Amino acid sequence: MTMHRRTALIAAASTAILLAGCSTGQTTSSSPSSGSTSAPSAGNAPSTSAMSSGAMSSGAMSSGAMSSGAMSSGAMSSGAMSSGAMSSGAMSSAMTSAPGGSGAAGGSVPAAIKAAGGTSVLTGTLPAGVEAQYGPLCKGSDLGIAKIDLKKDTIGWAQSEKEANPFRIASTKSEVDQAKKLGVKLLTTNAQSDAQQENTDIKGMIDKGAKAVIFSPINSTGLGDAIAYAKSKKVAMIPVDRNITGVKGCQEVGPQLGSDFVQQGKRAADAMIKATGGKAKLAILLGASGVNVTDDRTAGFKAELKAKNATGIEIIFEQTADFTREKGKSVTETLLQAHPDVTAIYAENDEMGLGALAALDDKGMSGTSKVHIVSIDGTKGAVQAIVDGNFDAVIESNPAYGPSAFAALDAYVNGAGAPAVTITTDNQYDKSNAQAAITSGAAY
């Protein structure tokens, strides 16, 4: 599935569910005739799921729930991807709320969803590209937010991290491309991994007239200043990728769209168990400190090892590598000095995994016959490493939120409302489908 088709899929997901559904403030001319685009930003992202206790986990993606064959790039039919799957007028009756009841996986609301303001499982038919949705229903009018004319009003896009990796590049491209498609005037910023800068960026775009801001939070708790400012100015706030936590549903921000990072960690653990036969001296390359993505991917991974009684996998090393390729390489160099007997590496994003591979290659230790590697994101470089025999598996975190974010915004301010939290679907790659993902463009 190409990136274009996957963005359409997620758009349909947002639209079909009752809803819809650089820090210089660069303006992107988004009329369909415009040829210019804002520079892509960077970032990291997200997973799928519905509900395992403790996080946004997806029943459909519990360990091994998707066979690798089912996860091939063509697994989701393009027929399900039309962004016009449901008119906004028809959305209000699409799902009903079942507090703590039977959702997509028949369980209660996970802790991570509750932290993001979700209080109830929304039951009913989920469109392609969505694992689960949680109420309450967010309506901009409840916060005094006026309707928005997407053809005339200015919208902001705040990227959290520098565009130095494929995830953030694809993330910003998705937002910019969708804005152009809709004819939206889009302001763009990039906080360069600085929480205070992202607060400043968002407030600056509001001061420049943005009626709504779609943003990828640098972390889940560090943007209180910008969120309070937007609320005081009655500006819609739509978080994507990482959720804002510690908030009451719909009372601080609008609908949140993201991945299930805990479930990503669990799926990575299952892939590692399969690759190693349940026996390994394992190192973990942790993501950035103080970021919920890191905490959730670590917790999910370790919980799954315990749940599967994988006592033969011994964790001998853990150190942050900040989601970057450079630190992935340098930290792995340190690892190899202290633990030359390492036989497996879990990298919490592809960039760190590719950095680890470079360090292993320097020592003549690359290749899964020597050191197993499992990572998360789904970038071309990592998926190609599977084809080349250097990675065992890659769990996808889909960055293409542009269509779904604009659809959720439209439903939130102009339509019947949008769910407080939506969890999207991610693929998974191994040697059975990696080449197909490269060929089709599913790997970004």
Query: The tokens of 259 are what?
Result: 């991945």
For 200-219, b/e burial (b = at least 16 CB within 10 A) is: bbbbbbbeeebbbbbbbbbb
pLDDT tier at 189, thresholds 50, 70, 90: very high
Q: Tell me what pLDDT residue 422 has.
A: 95
- The per-residue pLDDT for range 69-105, each reduced to its tens digit, is 333 333 333 333 333 333 343 334 345 655 443 334 4
pLDDT, tens digit (0-9, with 9 covering 90-100), for 271-297:
999 999 999 999 999 999 888 899 999
Q: Where are the beta strands (DSSP E) in 58-184?
A: 95-98, 120-124, 130-138, 154-159
Name residue 361's amino acid.
D
Q: pLDDT by residue (tens digit) across 249-278? A: 899 999 999 999 999 999 999 999 999 999
Question: Which pLDDT does position 95 carry in this prediction?
Answer: 56
pLDDT in tens, 323-344: 999 999 999 999 999 999 999 9
pLDDT tens by residue, 353-372: 999 999 999 999 999 999 99
Q: How confident is the model at residue 108 (pLDDT cuts 50, 70, 90)?
A: confident
Q: Can you list the alpha helix ranges (DSSP code H) found in 48-118?
A: 111-115
- Residue, of 19 and 139, whose pLDDT is higher: 139
> Side chain identity at 352, as an amino acid letter?
M
pLDDT at 67: 36
Cβ count near 77 (within 10 Å): 11
pLDDT value of residue 290: 80
CATH topology of domain 262-396: Rossmann fold (3.40.50)
For the chain, the domains span 1-259+398-444, 262-396
Does residue 347 carry a pLDDT above 60? yes
pLDDT in tens, 372-394: 999 999 999 999 999 999 999 99
304, pLDDT greater than 50: yes
Sort residue 134 into left (φ over 0), alpha (ψ -120 to 50) or beta.
Answer: beta
Residue 44 has pLDDT above 70, yes or no: no
Q: Tens digits of per-residue pLDDT, 211-226? A: 999 999 998 899 999 9
CATH, domain range 1-259+398-444: 3.40.50.2300
Q: pTM of this prediction?
A: 0.78
Query: What is the average pLDDT across 38-57?
Result: 35
Domain pair 1-259+398-444 / 262-396, same fold: yes
**Residue written as token pair 């799926």:** 267
How confident is the model over 194-215, as pLDDT tens digits? 999 999 999 999 999 999 999 9
Least confident range of 4-18, 127-141, 330-344: 4-18
Burial of 354 (0-12, 13-18, 19+ CB in 10 A): buried
The pLDDT value given to residue 163: 86
What is the average pLDDT score of the chain?
82
